[in-house]
Amino acid sequence: MLLVFLVHLVVSYQISIAFPATFGRYDLVAKENDDGTTRFFVVGDWGGLPVSPFDTPSEVAVADAMGKLGVKLNTTFQLALGDNFYYDGVQSANDSRFQNTFEHVFSATSLQTPWYVLAGNHDHRGNVSAEIEYGKTSKRWVFPDYFYSFSLWQGDQQKKLIDFVMIDTVLLCGGDSLSDWDHRPLEGPANEVVAEAYWQWIEGQLRQSTAPYLIVSGHFPVYSIAEHGPTQCLIDRLRPMLHQYHVTAYLCGHDHNLQHLANDMDGVHMNYFVIGAANFIDPSQEHAQDVPADALKFFWAGSKVYGGFAMVEVNTTHMSLSFIDHSEQTLYQAVMTPRS
């Protein structure tokens, strides 16, 4: 009831930030390989350049590697973790950046599958609603709202495998301007009433999930050792929920490298993955002392030219997340088991 009240409150005050009347939920039927495993890619901070050629060598190399692996491994879909268009997002649903930075780069046949998209801070410097609008005409760009959820089912839709919760960390925490680059804490959401309603929605999604695996994806990290470091807003508010509801993993971008961090809270183990290396590479580790002791399990920023991404493989017994570079080489793999 409080969520409904807050929605009405937002509307009555005509707050400028778009707030959805409904939250989307979508179901995806998995393509199972002969080994009974479903595979999908995760890519973050992939958004090219605002000037010709509208891409970077890293983005092109990552797209090429994803396309080749997608054929070999029969992947099902992609998660895109924000900063979809550098440096100032897009202006309209007809913006040429959709073609120049996305369609013409990730053009492999194997990548003509759904792209589940969320917004990063660079997208918010432009028009995020235009990115949402683009999904109404695109055959593969799935971005129905700032926050949404969907589920992955096995082939006969009799058994749910993963629940996904896609969130907008800018609306939750702020940081849509350059202030989030100069190593200061984010100043908080642009509208606290909107943010609070979204926080309640997130908790509701986590509470009701019964899937063996539960993945939350946003743009800002909870924990990161790199340039931007941890996001205090998410540590304070999201992290306790992730542990309370036994979330399998939190996926994010923002820092331009690949990281795996893990941490326990109240006896519950939690995995945090930073996957932001598809367009630029940054080797900074300046926040190494700002994460829990022994939390960092893996860090990669090995190539200043060619980037990396992640692939998830999941079945009823385990889920693995692999970091992969532009040459299709597996750099690291973490294995997770179904939630108890």
**What are the residues whose beta carbons fall under 8 Å from the beta carbon of 78, sequence distance 6 or more?**
40, 41, 42, 43, 66, 111, 113, 114, 115, 116
Q: Which residue would you say has higher pLDDT here, 286 or 185?
A: 286
Asked whether residue 4 is assigned to any structural domain, the reply reads no
Q: What is the pTM of this model?
A: 0.91
| Nearest-angstrom CA–CA distance, 214 and 161 | 9
Number of domains in the chain: 1
- Mean local confidence (pLDDT), 59-76: 97
pLDDT confidence of residue 184: 54
> Does residue 8 register a pLDDT over 80?
no
Place 27 in a pLDDT band, splitting at 50, 70 and 90.
confident
Q: Is 266 left (phi over 0), alpha (psi -120 to 50) or beta?
A: left
**Residue 9 counted as domain residue:** no
Tell me, yes or no, whether 207 lies in a domain.
yes
Q: Find out whether 219 is annotated in a ligand binding site.
A: yes
Q: Read out DSSP for 233-274? A: HHHHHHHHHHHHTT-SEEEE-SSSSEEEEEEEETTEEEEEEE
Instruction: Quote the CA–CA distance of 204 and 194 in Å, as a whole number.
Output: 16
What are the structure tokens assigned to 94, written together? 């007809």
- For a pLDDT cut of 70, what percent of the chain falls above it? 87
Report whether 256 belongs to an annotated binding site: yes
Q: Identify whether 71 is part of a domain.
A: yes
Q: Is the residue at 2 inside a domain?
A: no
pLDDT of residue 179 exceeding 60: no
Q: If residue 148 lies in a helix (H) or strand (E), which one and from where to where?
A: strand 148-153
- Bridge partners of 268, per DSSP, are 265
- The verdict on whether residue 183 carries a ligand-binding annotation is no
122 vs 88: CA distance, rounded Å: 5
The CATH number assigned to the domain holding 216 equals 3.60.21.10
H-only helix segments in 74-134: 97, 121-124, 128-134
pLDDT of residue 203: 97
Q: Is 110 helix (H, G, I), strand (E, B) or coil?
A: helix
For residue 51, give its domain range. Answer: 22-336
The annotation status of 243 as a binding-site residue, yes or no, is no
* 259 beta partners: 274, 299
Residue 266 annotated in ligand binding: no
Q: Is there a domain that residue 267 lies in?
A: yes
Cα distance between residue 12 and residue 8, in whole Å: 6
Radius of gyration (C-alpha) of the chain in whole angstroms = 18
Let me know if residue 10 belongs to a domain.
no
Residue type at 110? S
**12 belongs to a structural domain:** no
